[in-house]
Amino acid sequence: MGKVYVFDHPLIQHKLTYIRDKRTGTKEFRELVDEVATLMAFEITRDLPLDDVEVETPVTTAKAKVLSGKKLGIVPILRAGIGMVDGILKLMPAAKVGHIGLYRDPETLQPIEYYVKLPADVEERDFILVDPMLATGGSAIAAINSLKSRGAKNIKFMCLIAAPEGVEVIKQLHPDVDIYIAALDEKLDDHGYIVPGLGDAGDRLFGTK
């Protein structure tokens, strides 16, 4: 069964409060999402493999570590996932970025896929799939299916706010995918919105609606 990590770091929790606040405007919302994505990326990369090296300091030779150069891919689920990409790239500037375009049909809540573009060497990369919101889980499941059908073998899913329903469906359908979240909220409302949540992440990021 996949593991679920809730990042309760004080900086993440503080910034998330302002992300949730309905008075936070587009500019600040975007900046905060970017900052939280960086902080989450710091936590999510704890298990990156290291190689032993020797380095000449001005004093002597030291045994030290460098990243072993694992190939990474970041994949935002469009649109709202885009808001998290730059924040992650600040810590992993060499990562390749793929895109999966999905929107939720407002009536059925089913995800509709409209765009997929991934790095050519999908099978060799470890992927971080990102989206601020995990609600019913339909979009995340469709995106994970899309990545796996193209050869991805190692996927982590990272989001800001998750509903219990979304977490459960990923655990059931993709037990190999670990989930990294900043907050696990209470429930979904009748329209599939997370309660208390932050509203519509795409609209708040891009100033639409």
Which of ligand URA, ligand PRP, none sits in contact with 126, Cβ below 5 to 8 A by type? none
Vertex 186: Cα angle to 147 and 155 (nearest 5): 15
- Please state the separation of Cα 52 from the chain's center in Å: 29
| Torsion on CA atoms 160, 93, 152, 66, rounded to nearest 10 | -110
Contact with ligand PRP (CB under 6 A): which of 72, 134, 167, 198?
Answer: 134
Reply yes or no on whether 108 is catalytic: yes
Give the shortest CB-196-to-ligand URA separation in angstroms.
9
Give the shortest CB-151-to-ligand PRP separation in angstroms.
23
Amino acid at 145: N
Of 26 and 68, CB closest to ligand PRP: 26
Which of ligand PRP, ligand URA, none sits in contact with 36, Cβ below 5 to 8 A by type? none
Give the shortest CB-17-to-ligand PRP separation in angstroms.
20
Nearest to 98 by CA among 70, 114, 71, 77: 77
